[in-house]
Chains A and B, each alone.
Chain A
Amino acid sequence: MSEKVLPLRQASPADAASLTAEVAGLIVEALNLDIAPADIDPGQPLYGEGLGLDSIDILEIALVVSKHYGVQLRADSAENERIFGSLRQLVEYIGAHRTK
């Protein structure tokens, strides 16, 4: 995956906003959440307090992210905690590492 030379993605604010809406929609759908995608505050924590997701949910999100964007998450990366720090950070990570 890292061998492939991809043009560095410079996401425009509009791209970032549409990716945020898309990821929020995937999360709500995958987890059967009782809220509208737009109701997820992009700055609030996904895990624990905030949206209140648990580790089973995180695994589910990781699956959806790998299917849609080709990004395989790893728990031993120091970034992991930051990635699920908020929807915004998750979207930034996907934007930077997506292969599809």
Chain B
Amino acid sequence: MIAHASGDAVVAYRAGAPIRVWQFLEDVRRLVATLEGAAHVLNACTDRYHFSVGFAASLASGAVSLLPPTTTPEMVCQLQRFAPGAVCLTDQPDCDIALPRVRYPPAARTNGIGSGDCAPAPVPLIAEAQLAGYVFTSGSTGAPVPHPKTFGPLARCVRIEAERLGLRGGEPWAIVATVPPQHMYGFESSVLMAMLNGHALCAERPFYPADVTAALEAIPRPRLLVSTPVHLRALLASGLALPPTDLILSATAPLAQQLAEEAEQRFGTRLLEIYGSTETGQIAARRPTVSAEWRLWPEVTLSIEGEESFAEGGHLERRTRLYDVLELTGEDRFLLHGRVTDLVNIAGKRSSLGYLNHQLNSIPGVLDGAFFHVEETAVLKTGVARVGACVVAPGLDAPRLLEALRQRVDPVFLPRPLLLVPRLPRNSTGKLSQEALRSLAAAR
């Protein structure tokens, strides 16, 4: 389950202080005793070390981790339908997720477990074929779509990632990540990267630029920063001195060329972009300052049929659709030409116009409503592509509509702008184009 060489090896840092393998195993053993009987665990821990202990304890006790993209009441309700009896593992005292809760850290037991005089906790062995978790994407009809993740393929994927990044077999790295451990990218590149390649993760999830620089300064080199265009842009614009970093990863959205160059210069390092999806995990990487082409993980192949792209082979358990427009440029190389129109990706949170429309139209009082992608000119300013919506709901006002939507979708998908209109600009066949919605919004 972990690749660290000895009990004294470091698995994590908190505020710069090392947490060692024996401590991790002891924490896992205690949590296993608490989780006993749970078949599914929604791991909502915000501390990355707590999350890792939760994931490891779930594996060791045979429970399946649930990693939903968001924990709105609607999503939690759907999860409960999917996995009745699921519990929520949380390290937040004010957690309001409506599932039976298991607190982290678990209450101290009095029966001798963890008392220090018993034998060191063993490293649990996990079978390659064990179902480790489900990650979810939003389908178009309301119910989230589960994607099963088996332990063997997950492990195989991050071992290949480590090889590609030059993080395999050498000295241990320390990993700071600005992305949550529940997101597929953060899960693979911070949690699994550390556990399965013998590296150490930083327990904190730094948010503001000053948090990120402090987290980097607190840990030894070599250091890896796992981040996104949104966080990198904020870091570079902050005016703070940037600590030397040995490698930067970016994913969730394309990184502007200029930003990549500036990041490499100011951090004095290489920046690699990762390409992947919730369904496939990561499957390719590139160094944008060197090449626009992405290089696939070995044994992963792409195929394009009409306007649809698919990946298969390697760690992929099945042929899987990719919701991007791709162009093959060589046996293991491709170019990325943007997303499929229906897909919505805001700072790594993914949804689809179809799903958002379904949620919007399920709100009592909404007669008709549709989301649209905002124009690129608005995107250029903040670097984040938002969505807007036009809604016909005579009995509702904007605040009440937003409140109802907030119960159903992640806050990043709340429409901006939200326009209440007498009717939607449908054409004579009832079709609604993105362009018509944008024009309507621009005219207001």
Contacts and interface: CB of A to CB of B under 8 A. Distances in A.
B384 A56 contact: yes
A32 B379 CA distance: 10
B182 to A, nearest CB: 14
A66 B209 CA distance: 10
A20 to B, nearest CB: 22
B238 A55 contact: no
Interface string A54-84: 1110011011001100001111100000000
Contacts of A17: none
Q: Which 5 A-B pairs have the closest CB atoms?
A: A72-B210, A75-B207, A54-B411, A34-B417, A73-B208
Interface residues of B, number: 29
Nearest to B377: A32
Contact of B210 (A30, A33, A34, A74): A74
B414 A52 contact: yes
B438 interface: no
B interface: dominant SS: helix
B411 A62 contact: no
A49 interface: yes
A66 B239 contact: yes
Given A49-B403, A74-B208, A63 B234 contact: yes
A62 B233 CA distance: 12
B237 A56 contact: no
14 contacts: A31-B382, A32-B416, A34-B417, A52-B414, A54-B412, A56-B347, A56-B384, A63-B209, A66-B209, A72-B208, A72-B209, A72-B210, A75-B206, A76-B204
A74 B238 CA distance: 12
B234 A59 contact: yes
B431 interface: no
B403 A76 contact: no
Contacts of B238: 63, 66, 72
B211 A75 contact: yes
A85 B255 CA distance: 32
Contact of A63 (B237, B402, B416): B237
B411 A52 contact: yes
B381 interface: yes
A7 interface: no
A56 B412 contact: yes
Contacts of B416: 32-34
B29 interface: no
Interface string B214-253: 1000000000000000110010011110000000000000
Question: Interface size class for chain A?
Answer: 20 to 34
A49 B412 contact: no
A35 to B, nearest CB: 10
Contacts of B231: 59
B204 A48 contact: no
Nearest to B388: A34
A59 B406 contact: no
Contacts of A55: 207
Contacts of B412: 54, 56
Contacts of B206: 75
Nearest to B207: A75
Contacts of B347: 56
B378 interface: yes
Contacts of A73: 208, 210
A60 to B, nearest CB: 6
Tell me which of A30, A34, A56, A75 has the highest count of chain B C-beta atoms within 10 A of its own C-beta.
Answer: A56
Contact of B230 (A52, A56, A67, A75): A56
A67 B236 CA distance: 12
B382 A32 contact: yes
Contacts of A56: 230, 346-347, 382, 384, 412
Contacts of A59: 207-208, 230-231, 234
A4 B411 CA distance: 40
A6 B346 CA distance: 41
A55 B384 CA distance: 12
Contacts of B239: 66-67
Given A32-B381, A63-B238, A74 B411 contact: no
Interface string B328-351: 000000000000000000110000
Contact of B382 (A49, A60, A62, A67): A60
Contacts of B230: 56, 59
Given A66-B239, A72-B208, A75-B211, A32 B378 contact: yes
A58 to B, nearest CB: 8
Interface string B410-422: 0110101100000
B413 to A, nearest CB: 9
A55 B70 CA distance: 13
A56 B387 CA distance: 14
A72 B211 CA distance: 9
A60 B402 CA distance: 22
